[in-house]
């Protein structure tokens, strides 16, 4: 155990903020905290998760293996995110795999406690419902982009997204995320070589700077126009 949920700021970002003080104390008492090193698996496809994870720090990738044997990343997670509610709600094994991209600190809240709160606290349930509705809307947008945009457009959009969401950590400091070229390819759904090639092209056109794994966007406007199809 590491710290109390009542004092943890991370919960402010997710549905746990809808819990009452008493519920939060109960959660705090039954939760476990876990360190997941870069590259380690938080949970895998087909696993019974039996609870939800609340991300305290670090970055993770959530993916699903496709028939052709390539992992497709369907979500990225960072501090404040809650993951596992879906499998929990439907009482199913996980259909996704979560791997740490950077070292992560996560709290695990057992299923029973979450289900109890869902039953007893309508505010909590509505909050989970709202979050799921937002996720579903985002998923629809991703489907449209995957279906209709070129790889180049998707890469441009993804670079902007990563800059917005993962360039700084919870304290606003510059964060060194460890997304590999393969990760980026698996986000946009293309071959690793294609992703690398396009990154080189963007670099040549001075849209971005490449410093090892760190990608700095230097021409937001051009990337944005590209992503939206100019």
Partner DNA sequence: CTAAAAAGCTGACAAATATCATATTTTAAA
Partner DNA sequence: TTTAAAATATGATATTTGTCAGCTTTTTAG
* 25-30-31-33 Cα dihedral, nearest 10 degrees: 120
The vertex-158 CA angle with 67 and 70, nearest 5°, equals: 15
Q: How far is the CB of 96 from DNA (least distance, A)?
A: 20
Please give the Cα distance from 68 to 57 (Å, whole number): 32
212 binds, among DNA, a copy of itself, none (CB under 5 to 8 A by kind): DNA
Compare residues 71 and 113 and give the one whose CB is closer to DNA.
Answer: 71
Residue from 125, 192, 194, 222 binding a copy of itself (CB under 8 A): 125
- Rule CB under 7 A: is residue 218 a binding residue for DNA? no
Residue from 89, 181, 222, 224 binding DNA (CB under 7 A): 181
Compare residues 170 and 182 and give the one whose CB is closer to DNA.
Answer: 182
Site string (82-101) toward a copy of itself, x via CB under 8 A = ---xx--xx----xx-----
Q: What is residue 168's DSSP assignment?
A: B
> Which of 203, 167, 182, 188 minimizes the C-alpha distance to 59?
167
- Rule CB under 8 A: is residue 130 a binding residue for a copy of itself? yes
DSSP element (H, E) containing 114 = helix 111-120
DSSP-derived 3-state class of residue 35? strand
Residue from 180, 218, 220, 225 binding DNA (CB under 7 A): 180
130 binds, among a copy of itself, DNA, none (CB under 5 to 8 A by kind): a copy of itself
Residue from 138, 150, 165, 216 binding DNA (CB under 7 A): 150
Please give the Cα distance from 39 to 198 (Å, whole number): 25
- Asked if 79 and 56 count as a contact pair (C-beta separation under 8 A), the reply is yes
> Which of 61, 86, 65 minimizes the C-alpha distance to 165?
61
164 binds, among a copy of itself, DNA, none (CB under 5 to 8 A by kind): none
Please give the Cα distance from 17 to 19 (Å, whole number): 5
Residues 160-199 that bind a copy of itself (CB under 8 A): 188-189
Task: State how far the alpha carbon of 181 is from the alpha carbons of 20, 30, 84, in Å.
Answer: 43, 39, 27
Binding site for DNA (CB under 7 A): 150-152, 180-182, 189-194, 196-197, 199-200, 210, 212-213
Binding site for a copy of itself (CB under 8 A): 64, 66-68, 70, 72, 74, 85-86, 89-90, 95-96, 118-119, 122, 125-126, 128-130, 132-137, 139-149, 188-189, 228-229
């Amino acid at each position: 155990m590491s710290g109390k949920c009542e004092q943890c700021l991370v919960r402010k970002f997710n549905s746990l903020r809808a819990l009452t003080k008493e519920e939060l104390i109960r959660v705090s008492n039954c939760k476990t905290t876990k360190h997941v090193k870069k590259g380690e698996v938080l949970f895998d496809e087909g696993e019974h998760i039996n609870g939800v994870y609340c991300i305290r720090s670090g970055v993770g990738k959530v993916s699903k293996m496709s028939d052709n044997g390539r992992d497709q990343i369907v979500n990225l997670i960072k501090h404040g995110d809650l993951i596992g509610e879906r499998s929990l709600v439907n009482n199913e094994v996980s259909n996704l795999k979560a791997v740490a991209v950077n070292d992560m600190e996560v709290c695990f809240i057992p299923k029973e406690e979450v289900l109890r709160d869902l039953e007893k606290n309508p505010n909590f349930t509505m909050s989970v419902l709202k979050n799921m509705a937002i996720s579903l809307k985002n998923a629809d947008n991703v489907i449209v982009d995957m279906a209709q945009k070129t790889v180049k457009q998707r890469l441009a959009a993804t670079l902007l997204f990563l800059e917005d969401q993962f360039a700084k950590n919870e304290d606003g400091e510059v964060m060194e995320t460890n997304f590999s070229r393969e990760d980026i390819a698996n986000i946009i759904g293309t071959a690793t070589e294609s992703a690398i090639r396009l990154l080189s092209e963007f670099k040549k056109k001075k849209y971005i700077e490449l410093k090892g794994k760190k990608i700095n966007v230097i021409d937001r406007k051009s990337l944005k126009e590209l992503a939206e199809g100019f």
